[in-house]
Amino acid sequence: MKFTLLTIFAVVLASFAVLAQSPEPTGDAEPEPEPTIAYAPPPPPSTAAGHFDGYSKCQVRGFKLTSPVVRCCTQNKGVSKVEGKVINCRVAIGREGYYRKCIYDLHYPTSVTCRYY
C-alpha cells in the first residue's frame, strides 16, 4: 500500500478535526482534588487472651512484701492483688516505669516482671 502525500495530509487534517471537536477547559471548571494519603494508626498488639487494653500486668516477687509495695501500685493508678509472696499489679503502660521506680526506692529485695496483655 502506497502512502501518498495527499493521504498523509488527509489523516493529519482528520486528526485536527477531532481535536477541534473536543471542548477546551474553561476557567470556571473546578480542578480535580489532589489525592490524599489516608493515615490509619497501627493496630494495638493482639494476644491470644483477647484484645489489648493498654495495661500491663506486673508481678512483684520478694521476701518482704508489705503495704508500701501495694501503695506503689495504687499511687500509679493501678489495681493490686496479693497472693502469698507475689503481688500482681495491673497498671497503665505509661505508669509502669514509675511503678518500678517506686518499688526500687523502697530498697526491698524484690523482682518486678511486667507483661503486656
The helix/strand/coil state of 61 is: strand
Q: How far apart are CA 98 and CA 89, in angstroms?
A: 13
Residues 5-61: tens digit of each pLDDT: 667 667 766 766 656 565 665 666 676 766 666 666 665 555 444 555 688 899 999
Residues 71-83: tens digit of each pLDDT: 999 998 999 998 8
Q: How far apart are CA 69 and CA 96, in angstroms?
A: 14
Q: State CA 106 to chain mean position distance.
A: 35
Cell for 24? 477546551
Q: How confident is the model at residue 88 (pLDDT cuts 50, 70, 90)?
A: very high
For each of the domains in the chain, give its residue range(s) and CATH number, in order of start: 57-116 (3.30.70)
Cell for 86? 507475689
